[in-house]
Amino acid sequence: MGVSGNMFCPISIVVYFLSVAIGLVMFFRPGAVIEFQKKFYEKINWRIEPISMSREVRNTRLMGLFLIFAVPLAIIYILNLRYSFFF
């Protein structure tokens, strides 16, 4: 398939950096992420409002941490299964 040896899959590198970047934005700017989500839903004719803004900010930060840590670990695990170069 054109991939030989221990080459990284380019799409996995892109997904890695995007997930970390989006996760950092979600962690450090949860209010902006929530406002973006509200505006997106208004464009598709839905209106959303969090019941508790403090819980929404906390949950957005937790989702950011998930993206920062879990997605890269999952990519490393999948690449390890495919190419066996970490363990």
Domain limits of the chain? 11-83
Helix 53-83 and helix 30-43: axis angle, to 10°? 90
- Position 82 pLDDT exceeds 70: yes
Amino acid 7: pLDDT: 54
H helices within 3-84, ranges in order? 10-28, 30-43, 53-83
User: Is the pLDDT assigned to residue 23 strictly greater than 80?
Assistant: yes
At 46-59, the pLDDT tens digits run 999 999 999 999 99
d(CA 68, CA 57): 17
**Predicted TM-score of the model (pTM):** 0.76
pLDDT digits (tens, 9 = 90+) for 29-39: 999 999 999 99
